Chain A
Amino acid sequence: MPQASLQFNEATARDPVRQVADAIRRRVLEHTLTNNGGYLSQACSSAEILATLYLRVMRLGPSTAPRVPRPFAGVPSATNPRAFTGADYNGPRAPELDRFIFSPVHYALVLYSLLIELGRLGPDALDEFNQDGSTVELIGAEHSPGHEVTAGSLAQAISQAGGIALARRLRGETGRVWVFMSDGEFQEGQTWEAFAALAHHRIGNLGVYVDANAQQCDGPMASVMTVEPLAERLRAFGAEVHEVEGHDPDALAAPAESTAPRNRPLVVIARTDPCRGIERLRERAPKLHYVRFKDGQEVETYQALLADLREGAK
């Protein structure tokens, strides 16, 4: 084995965030193969961000939810007391604990895979993935593990998180509210309405991590509708903004380390690579949003790749 690769593996073994992130990529690739389709590039771009949030940034209690995902119990309504949210996978609610709001819920498989790696979901939880009657849905909703709000209509979560953060401030709670967003959501006007309100009301107990992978459904964001310069725009809206290398756990964690009270929202723009860890994906660019393999040969190629990744992880 070449020396460089060996060193990389040793570094990986030492860093739990990197370890979890690589495991997420393997699991998402496995399920993309099983289902012949999936949001694979999102796992490549966001694995370190989400792993850093759970392992180094957020103060969460242990999961209070079953390791085997609950079946869907019906939509919330006055006549359905059985409806629940998947927030209990992120631990109990407590004044000093943080909350996690997951916005681009087509990344659901990435979050489920992370919850498995962290032991918050059982190892077989993805047997339920995209199955009828399951909460482990393809595009998550508030009943899905790790989800607290119904965010699939993009850019709605940041406003809901703002309301939650404001309510927590009114109650004098010290825990923070963390929102995971995708850069595409900054095309929605509502996102900017939300940042205006967060700054105006000096909401400093809310932090946002953005997976800036520069990709969206139609292709590269620069060709669809650019949101750059994102950092300058957000600063102009009154946020404290950090731009970091989105696959570097230390760089990702650093902006959130200070727990000193803020009077404005914190935004960490994580510049990421949608093909990170699965180089082969680059040949599919610019269509990376949803990966569906073209033929049996491509499936075999990716199966071999998965076997290599598993071997490398040993």
Chain B
Amino acid sequence: METIQRPHHGNLIRWAKDRPEVLVISADLTSSCEADGFRDAYPERFFSMGMAEQNMMGFAAGLAREGFTPFVHTFAVFICRRPFDQVAMSIAYPNLPVRLIGFLPGITTAGGVTHQAIDDIALMRLLPNLTVLECGDATDVESVLDVAQSVAGPVYVRMLRGEVPRLFDPAEPIALGRARVLSEGSDLAVLSSGICTEEAMRATQVLRERGFSIAHLHVSTLKPFADPRVIEAIDGARLGVVTMENHGIVGGLGSAVAELMAEQGFGKRLIRIGLRDTYAHGASRQYLMREYDLDAMALVRAVETLSGERLGLSEAALAEVRLETMRPLEKTEDL
């Protein structure tokens, strides 16, 4: 599979070129959030706010009230935790078109607990007026700005940086409120988001060889959450539903699906793969995905639980279908 180096970096420059209303503001993580190219190309539209996220959110709100669309770039933890009140009151309440671009989702960083956003989807999803999007590959990254900009109110984008796999055809952009249907099936519905989609694809490939009919959907709009494709896949899943997310199981995709299933009256099992009410720590993505059961094997185990079958699959078997090589350079990232 193809991987793209820093897709947001170049895309942001290209995309913003003829959009004078687009500003970028940043809190001392400009190149870490791949916004340095924008800064250098359009210095008059870039504003450094220093390590002061609460104030940055207020400035973004004021700029948005005046007709600009500020794209706030920082790590997801520094959008969702420290300035939560400012996001809620200065941006979300007045429904202002601020684009919050949050980097380092979940365990994608070796930066440890302070840098790992394991609760960002939950925090942003519970704010009225917020639209919540998550990228899972380079195509999502390259097309998410259009979707964000099409929304009249505030948008949170859970963004990927660095080396990003190309899972989806560049001609098929991310779409608001519409999951990507990666496969159709009647035994199981697998709903994955973000980097977990790639892991899920490895497992579903092997599981299909074992005779399972799997509906696999890549979810990129976490809020609003009323996609008929998702409802249809859940409705058709004979054995049950598995959600898979690089986030805590409270408040994110798993919760959204649980709420949807309850409201739709689907009386079937749901297994939520994600961080199970725990923080993580600083280590490589691959190590943490295995430690916290976020990887392909976790999905195999969930299918074993729902089907009651022992599949006898080894990690080696899954490794053979591994689509991306985790490289050591991912541990020596810039923070």
Q: CB distance B58 to A78 under 8 Å?
A: no
Kindly provide the distance from the CB of A147 to the nearest chain B CB, expressed in whole angstroms. Answer: 11
**How many Å lie between the Cα of A157 and that of B94 in the bound state?**
13
Interface residues of B in 33-57 (CB under 8 A from A): 47-50, 52, 54-57
Question: Binary interface profile of A, 137-169, with partner B (CB < 8 Å = 1, else 0)?
Answer: 000001000000110110011111111111110
Are the CB atoms of B47 and A201 closer together than 8 Å? yes
CB-contacts of B48-89 with A (<8 A): 48-50, 52, 54-68, 70, 85-86, 89
> Closest chain A residue to B68 by CB distance?
A167
Count of chain B residues with Cβ under 8 Å from any Cβ of A?
32
Among A77, A152, A163, A197, point to the contact of B61 (Cβ < 8 A).
A163
- Give how many A-B residue pairs fall within 8 Å (CB-CB): 108
CB-CB < 8 A to B90: which residues of A?
A: 149-150, 156, 159-160
B63 and A197 form a contact (CB under 8 A): no
Residue A172, interface by CB 8 Å: no
A193 CB-CB contact with B under 8 Å: yes
Across the interface, A190 reaches (CB within 8 A) one of B54, B61, B64, namely: B54
Evaluate contact between B55 and A76: CB separation under 8 angstroms: no
| Interfacial chain A residues near B54, Cβ < 8 Å | 156, 159, 189-190, 193
**Looking at the complex, which one of B60, B62, B94 makes contact with A165 (CB distance below 8 Å)?**
B62
User: How far does the Cβ of A20 sit from chain B's closest Cβ, in whole Å?
Assistant: 29
Q: How far is the CA of A165 from the CA of B58 in the complex (A)?
A: 12
**A77/B153 in contact, CB under 8 A:** yes
Is there a chain B Cβ closer than 8 Å to A200's Cβ?
A: yes
Contact of A197 among B55, B66, B86, B129 (CB under 8 A): B55
Q: A170 contacts the other chain (Cβ, under 8 Å)?
A: yes
* Bound form: Cα–Cα A194–B62 in Å: 12
Chain B residues whose CB sits within 8 angstroms of the CB of A55 once the complex forms:
none
Smallest CB gap from B59: residue in A: A163
Report B125-153 residues with CB < 8 Å from chain A CB.
Answer: 128-129, 152-153
B193: Cβ under 8 A from any A Cβ: no
B93 on interface, CB distance cutoff 8 Å: yes
Determine which of A78, A161, A167, A196 lies in contact with B152 in the assembled complex, contact meaning CB atoms within 8 Å: A78
A75 within 8 A of B: yes
The answer, among A76, A152, A159, A168, for a CB contact under 8 Å with B86, is: A159
Rounded to whole angstroms, the CA-CA distance of A160 and B61 in the bound complex is 6
Q: Which residues from chain B contact A193 at a C-beta distance below 8 Å?
A: 50, 52, 54-55
Interface residues of A in 169-215 (CB under 8 A from B): 170-171, 189-190, 193-194, 196-197, 200-201
The answer for the CA separation of A167 and B89 in the assembled complex, in Å, is 20
- Shortest Cβ gap from A228 to chain B (Å): 22
Given known A-B contacts A150-B89, A197-B59, A160 and B66 have beta carbons under 8 A apart: no
Shortest beta-carbon distance, A8 to chain B, in Å?
42
Closest A residue to B224 using CB positions: A78
Q: Are B94 and A200 interface neighbours, CB within 8 A?
A: no
A76 & B129 in contact (Cβ 8 Å cutoff): yes
CB-CB nearest in chain B for A195? B55
CA A77 – CA B151 in complex, angstroms? 12
Which of A83, A168, A193: most chain B Cβ within 10 A? Answer: A193
Residues on the B chain within 8 Å of A161, using CB: 62
Please give the residue numbers on chain A whose beta carbons come within 8 Å of chain B beta carbons, in ascending order: 75-78, 83, 142, 149-150, 152-153, 156-168, 170-171, 189-190, 193-194, 196-197, 200-201
Starting from the known contacts A150-B89, A163-B70, 9 additional A-B residue pairs (CB-CB under 8 Å) come to A77-B95, A149-B94, A157-B58, A159-B57, A160-B59, A160-B65, A162-B58, A163-B63, A193-B55
